Amino acid sequence: MNAASPILEVRDLHVAYGGIAAVKGISFEVGTGETVCLIGANGAGKTTTLKALSRLLPARGTMHYDGHSLLHRPPHELIGAGMTLVPEGRGVFARLTVAENLDMGAYCRNDKAEIAADRDRVFALLPRLKERARQVAGTLSGGEQQMLAIGRALMSRPRLLLLDEPSMGLAPMMVQKVFEVIQSVAEQGVTILLVEQNARLALSIAARGYVMESGGITLTDDAPALLANPKVREAYLGE
């Protein structure tokens, strides 16, 4: 288990769609400053878990962020508290410009000088966005939209960043660039919980990982150990 004090603690989490159990009593934690990944096949319950944490889906169990329960907190309040989701499919504001999308990431802030400084930091981290600051977001490539979604999230100054399938639908070269950005964000001290089907890439930047199957967690270990685990290699690494 991680040495860092947990910023996120989940115990016996249950989530259902109608009468169908999608997440079946899972428990895990993420230490402050850690990068932790949830890996597993499509339909394992990974995205559902992130939606429950973000309060986009009702859930049963115990979820604590920064020592406070998440169960009855509205989604918008979590952003102000420093927990931000980059959703599957990116979800940029297609009709707004790149710069306007970034401004939307800071909608809960009113410190204009600091917002401008953070925008500069995002542009330094993601220079392609600076080049396209006045371009309408819907005309960007998939990889550029993914970078914009991450940049928009960073504008809220997250302490915990939830990333849902950031590599989905991207060309291999762009996947590598997006993961380099994620690693840079982690190196700046942001805690990351990463949901990703590309297990090899996820484990290459994470400290620890949890394997989800059919709504449950079946395996957890340090990332190097999971990369070396024969079951993981066969099921998720194509070996």
Tens-digit pLDDT profile for residues 215-228: 999 999 999 999 99
pLDDT in tens, 35-46: 999 999 989 999
What pLDDT, on the 0 to 100 scale, is given for residue 239? 58
In whole numbers, what is the pLDDT of the chain averaged over residues? Answer: 93
pLDDT band at 159 (very low <50, low <70, confident <90, very high): very high
**Beta carbons within 10 angstroms of residue 113's beta carbon:** 7
Q: Is the pLDDT of residue 84 over 90?
A: yes
Kindly report the pTM of this predicted structure.
Answer: 0.93
What pLDDT, on the 0 to 100 scale, is given for residue 22? 95
Q: Are strands 35-39 and 208-213 parallel, antiparallel or unpaired?
A: parallel
Question: What's the CATH number for 6-90+157-236?
Answer: 3.40.50.300
Taking the domains of the chain in order of start, what are their residue ranges? 6-90+157-236
Q: What is the mean predicted confidence (pLDDT) over 127-146?
A: 95
